[in-house]
Amino acid sequence: MYYTGNPRDSKSPEIYQAIDDLAKLSAECVQLRTPTTSCEKLMLSDHTLYLSWDYNTEKNISRLNGFAKVGKKQLFLYDSDMQTYEGEVLCLLDFYVHYDIQGKEGGKSLIDCVLQNEHIEPYQLALDNPSVSLLGFLSQQYGLTKPVWQNTNFVVFEDFFKSIGINGTVERPPEGWGRPQTPRRIGDGTTETRWLQHAISGHASKSHAMNATAELDHSAEGSQANRSHQAKTRKAHNLSSTPLW
Protein backbone atom coordinates (compact mmCIF):
# COMPACT_ATOMS: atom_id res chain seq x y z
CA MET A 1 0.00 0.00 0.00
CA TYR A 2 1.21 3.51 -0.78
CA TYR A 3 0.42 6.98 0.46
CA THR A 4 1.34 10.10 -1.47
CA GLY A 5 1.34 13.62 -0.09
CA ASN A 6 2.54 15.80 2.72
CA PRO A 7 2.29 14.83 6.40
CA ARG A 8 0.35 18.04 7.06
CA ASP A 9 -2.58 16.23 5.43
CA SER A 10 -2.57 13.68 8.24
CA LYS A 11 -3.46 14.42 11.86
CA SER A 12 -2.11 11.17 13.29
CA PRO A 13 0.86 11.59 15.68
CA GLU A 14 1.61 7.87 15.19
CA ILE A 15 2.26 8.48 11.50
CA TYR A 16 4.46 11.48 12.32
CA GLN A 17 6.55 9.39 14.70
CA ALA A 18 6.81 6.44 12.31
CA ILE A 19 8.06 8.71 9.52
CA ASP A 20 10.62 10.38 11.78
CA ASP A 21 11.85 7.00 13.06
CA LEU A 22 12.30 5.68 9.53
CA ALA A 23 14.08 8.89 8.51
CA LYS A 24 16.58 8.33 11.34
CA LEU A 25 17.33 4.85 9.99
CA SER A 26 17.84 6.36 6.54
CA ALA A 27 20.34 8.86 7.96
CA GLU A 28 22.23 6.13 9.82
CA CYS A 29 22.63 4.13 6.59
CA VAL A 30 24.51 6.99 4.93
CA GLN A 31 26.28 8.02 8.15
CA LEU A 32 24.56 11.38 8.58
CA ARG A 33 24.41 12.91 12.03
CA THR A 34 20.93 14.32 11.53
CA PRO A 35 18.14 13.08 9.24
CA THR A 36 17.42 15.06 6.09
CA THR A 37 13.75 14.16 6.38
CA SER A 38 11.34 14.93 9.20
CA CYS A 39 7.65 15.75 9.42
CA GLU A 40 8.49 19.21 10.72
CA LYS A 41 10.67 19.96 7.69
CA LEU A 42 8.14 18.47 5.29
CA MET A 43 5.38 20.70 6.57
CA LEU A 44 7.47 23.74 5.65
CA SER A 45 8.29 22.51 2.15
CA ASP A 46 6.55 21.62 -1.08
CA HIS A 47 8.18 18.19 -1.22
CA THR A 48 6.12 15.07 -1.80
CA LEU A 49 6.51 12.02 0.41
CA TYR A 50 5.67 8.54 -0.84
CA LEU A 51 5.10 5.94 1.88
CA SER A 52 4.96 2.17 1.61
CA TRP A 53 3.23 0.20 4.35
CA ASP A 54 1.53 -3.10 5.17
CA TYR A 55 -1.75 -3.43 7.00
CA ASN A 56 -2.43 -6.38 9.31
CA THR A 57 -6.19 -6.89 9.29
CA GLU A 58 -6.16 -9.32 12.22
CA LYS A 59 -4.25 -6.99 14.55
CA ASN A 60 -5.55 -3.78 12.94
CA ILE A 61 -1.98 -2.48 12.76
CA SER A 62 -0.17 -0.69 9.94
CA ARG A 63 3.58 -1.00 9.50
CA LEU A 64 5.62 1.58 7.62
CA ASN A 65 8.13 -0.15 5.32
CA GLY A 66 9.80 2.66 3.43
CA PHE A 67 9.57 6.13 1.95
CA ALA A 68 10.73 8.23 -0.97
CA LYS A 69 10.89 12.02 -0.81
CA VAL A 70 10.89 13.96 -4.07
CA GLY A 71 10.87 17.63 -4.97
CA LYS A 72 11.78 19.95 -7.81
CA LYS A 73 15.12 21.76 -7.72
CA GLN A 74 16.65 24.37 -9.99
CA LEU A 75 19.92 22.68 -10.96
CA PHE A 76 22.96 23.75 -12.92
CA LEU A 77 24.24 20.61 -14.65
CA TYR A 78 27.23 19.46 -16.65
CA ASP A 79 27.12 16.52 -19.02
CA SER A 80 30.14 14.31 -19.68
CA ASP A 81 31.41 16.74 -22.32
CA MET A 82 31.24 19.61 -19.79
CA GLN A 83 28.36 21.23 -21.67
CA THR A 84 26.19 23.23 -19.30
CA TYR A 85 22.48 22.98 -18.63
CA GLU A 86 20.21 24.76 -16.19
CA GLY A 87 16.63 23.98 -15.30
CA GLU A 88 14.08 22.57 -12.91
CA VAL A 89 14.51 18.85 -12.33
CA LEU A 90 12.54 16.41 -10.20
CA CYS A 91 14.94 15.08 -7.57
CA LEU A 92 14.94 12.03 -5.34
CA LEU A 93 15.95 13.74 -2.11
CA ASP A 94 15.71 10.83 0.33
CA PHE A 95 14.94 7.14 -0.07
CA TYR A 96 14.85 4.30 2.39
CA VAL A 97 13.38 0.82 2.58
CA HIS A 98 13.39 -1.08 5.87
CA TYR A 99 15.94 -3.89 5.95
CA ASP A 100 13.21 -6.45 6.68
CA ILE A 101 11.82 -6.08 3.15
CA GLN A 102 15.01 -5.25 1.26
CA GLY A 103 15.48 -7.73 -1.56
CA LYS A 104 11.73 -8.38 -1.76
CA GLU A 105 10.96 -5.89 -4.54
CA GLY A 106 9.75 -3.40 -1.92
CA GLY A 107 12.16 -0.72 -3.08
CA LYS A 108 11.33 -1.18 -6.76
CA SER A 109 7.59 -1.05 -6.07
CA LEU A 110 8.07 2.23 -4.23
CA ILE A 111 10.15 3.80 -7.00
CA ASP A 112 7.67 2.52 -9.59
CA CYS A 113 4.93 4.31 -7.67
CA VAL A 114 6.93 7.54 -7.77
CA LEU A 115 7.58 7.23 -11.51
CA GLN A 116 3.94 6.48 -12.27
CA ASN A 117 2.56 9.37 -10.24
CA GLU A 118 5.15 11.87 -11.44
CA HIS A 119 4.82 10.70 -15.07
CA ILE A 120 8.55 10.36 -15.65
CA GLU A 121 11.10 7.74 -16.65
CA PRO A 122 13.77 6.48 -14.20
CA TYR A 123 16.60 8.33 -15.96
CA GLN A 124 14.74 11.64 -15.58
CA LEU A 125 15.27 11.65 -11.81
CA ALA A 126 18.19 13.54 -10.29
CA LEU A 127 19.60 12.02 -7.10
CA ASP A 128 20.71 14.04 -4.09
CA ASN A 129 24.06 12.62 -2.89
CA PRO A 130 23.08 8.98 -3.49
CA SER A 131 24.68 6.11 -1.63
CA VAL A 132 26.57 3.30 -3.34
CA SER A 133 23.66 1.02 -2.45
CA LEU A 134 21.13 3.28 -4.19
CA LEU A 135 23.28 3.53 -7.32
CA GLY A 136 23.66 -0.24 -7.38
CA PHE A 137 19.91 -0.68 -6.89
CA LEU A 138 19.06 1.65 -9.80
CA SER A 139 21.66 -0.07 -11.96
CA GLN A 140 20.24 -3.51 -11.27
CA GLN A 141 16.54 -2.63 -11.44
CA TYR A 142 16.47 0.05 -14.15
CA GLY A 143 19.72 -0.37 -16.09
CA LEU A 144 21.06 3.05 -15.04
CA THR A 145 24.78 2.27 -15.21
CA LYS A 146 26.36 5.62 -16.11
CA PRO A 147 25.98 8.20 -13.34
CA VAL A 148 27.35 11.67 -13.96
CA TRP A 149 28.32 13.34 -10.68
CA GLN A 150 27.83 17.09 -10.35
CA ASN A 151 29.78 19.59 -8.24
CA THR A 152 26.75 19.87 -5.96
CA ASN A 153 26.82 16.09 -5.22
CA PHE A 154 23.67 15.61 -7.26
CA VAL A 155 23.76 12.79 -9.77
CA VAL A 156 22.03 12.53 -13.12
CA PHE A 157 22.43 9.73 -15.62
CA GLU A 158 23.79 9.78 -19.14
CA ASP A 159 20.36 8.85 -20.48
CA PHE A 160 18.99 12.08 -19.01
CA PHE A 161 21.08 14.13 -21.43
CA LYS A 162 20.40 11.76 -24.32
CA SER A 163 16.64 12.16 -23.95
CA ILE A 164 16.34 15.95 -23.74
CA GLY A 165 15.62 18.26 -26.62
CA ILE A 166 18.15 21.02 -27.20
CA ASN A 167 17.01 24.33 -28.61
CA GLY A 168 19.42 27.25 -28.52
CA THR A 169 17.71 29.34 -31.19
CA VAL A 170 14.44 30.31 -29.53
CA GLU A 171 14.23 33.70 -27.85
CA ARG A 172 12.51 32.32 -24.76
CA PRO A 173 13.48 29.08 -23.02
CA PRO A 174 10.92 26.38 -22.20
CA GLU A 175 9.00 26.93 -18.98
CA GLY A 176 11.15 26.25 -15.92
CA TRP A 177 14.47 26.69 -17.70
CA GLY A 178 16.83 29.65 -17.98
CA ARG A 179 20.38 30.67 -18.69
CA PRO A 180 22.98 30.72 -15.90
CA GLN A 181 23.45 34.23 -14.55
CA THR A 182 27.26 34.01 -14.72
CA PRO A 183 28.70 32.37 -17.86
CA ARG A 184 32.04 30.70 -17.18
CA ARG A 185 35.03 29.74 -19.26
CA ILE A 186 36.18 26.14 -18.92
CA GLY A 187 39.86 25.72 -19.80
CA ASP A 188 40.51 27.37 -23.20
CA GLY A 189 36.88 27.32 -24.33
CA THR A 190 33.63 28.81 -23.15
CA THR A 191 30.85 26.47 -22.10
CA GLU A 192 27.70 26.54 -24.19
CA THR A 193 24.44 26.98 -22.32
CA ARG A 194 21.55 24.96 -23.69
CA TRP A 195 17.83 25.15 -23.13
CA LEU A 196 16.33 21.85 -22.02
CA GLN A 197 12.90 20.86 -23.22
CA HIS A 198 11.03 18.47 -20.95
CA ALA A 199 12.46 14.98 -21.37
CA ILE A 200 10.48 12.65 -23.60
CA SER A 201 11.06 8.92 -23.63
CA GLY A 202 12.77 7.88 -26.84
CA HIS A 203 13.62 11.44 -27.92
CA ALA A 204 17.04 11.25 -29.53
CA SER A 205 19.66 13.71 -28.36
CA LYS A 206 21.40 16.02 -30.78
CA SER A 207 24.63 15.51 -28.89
CA HIS A 208 26.12 12.03 -29.12
CA ALA A 209 29.61 12.56 -27.71
CA MET A 210 29.55 11.18 -24.19
CA ASN A 211 33.16 10.20 -23.67
CA ALA A 212 33.64 10.82 -19.96
CA THR A 213 30.82 8.91 -18.34
CA ALA A 214 31.49 6.56 -15.44
CA GLU A 215 30.72 2.90 -15.89
CA LEU A 216 29.13 1.61 -12.70
CA ASP A 217 30.86 -1.32 -11.08
CA HIS A 218 28.35 -3.22 -8.94
CA SER A 219 30.93 -3.69 -6.19
CA ALA A 220 31.29 -1.09 -3.45
CA GLU A 221 34.97 -0.64 -4.31
CA GLY A 222 34.21 -0.03 -7.97
CA SER A 223 31.48 2.50 -7.26
CA GLN A 224 33.69 4.42 -4.87
CA ALA A 225 36.49 4.43 -7.45
CA ASN A 226 34.17 5.81 -10.12
CA ARG A 227 32.98 8.54 -7.78
CA SER A 228 36.55 9.44 -6.82
CA HIS A 229 37.61 9.61 -10.47
CA GLN A 230 34.77 11.95 -11.41
CA ALA A 231 35.45 14.12 -8.36
CA LYS A 232 39.07 14.57 -9.49
CA THR A 233 37.90 15.41 -13.01
CA ARG A 234 35.47 18.03 -11.74
CA LYS A 235 38.15 19.54 -9.50
CA ALA A 236 40.55 19.84 -12.43
CA HIS A 237 37.92 21.63 -14.49
CA ASN A 238 37.06 23.94 -11.61
CA LEU A 239 40.70 24.92 -11.07
CA SER A 240 41.01 25.86 -14.74
CA SER A 241 37.75 27.83 -14.79
CA THR A 242 37.69 31.61 -14.55
CA PRO A 243 34.67 33.95 -14.78
CA LEU A 244 34.30 36.02 -17.92
CA TRP A 245 33.94 39.03 -15.63
Q: Where are the domains of the chain?
A: 2-243
- Looking at the chain, the whole-number percentage of residues with pLDDT higher than 70 is 60
Q: What DSSP element (H or E) covers 227?
A: helix 220-239
Which pLDDT tens digit goes with each residue over 121-150? 999 999 999 999 999 999 999 999 999 999
Residue 207, pLDDT > 80, answer: no
Pick the CATH number of 2-243 from 3.40.630.30, 1.25.40.10, 3.40.30.10, 3.40.50.300: 3.40.630.30
Q: What DSSP element (H or E) covers 43?
A: helix 39-43
Residue 202, pLDDT > 80, answer: no
Strands 84-97, 48-56: pairing is: unpaired
Which pLDDT tens digit goes with each residue over 158-193? 989 887 755 443 344 445 554 444 444 333 444 444
Residue 218: per-residue pLDDT: 47
Between the alpha carbon of residue 28 and those of residues 31, 201, 217, the distances in Å are: 5, 35, 24
**Residue 45 near residue 8, CB atoms below 8 Å:** no
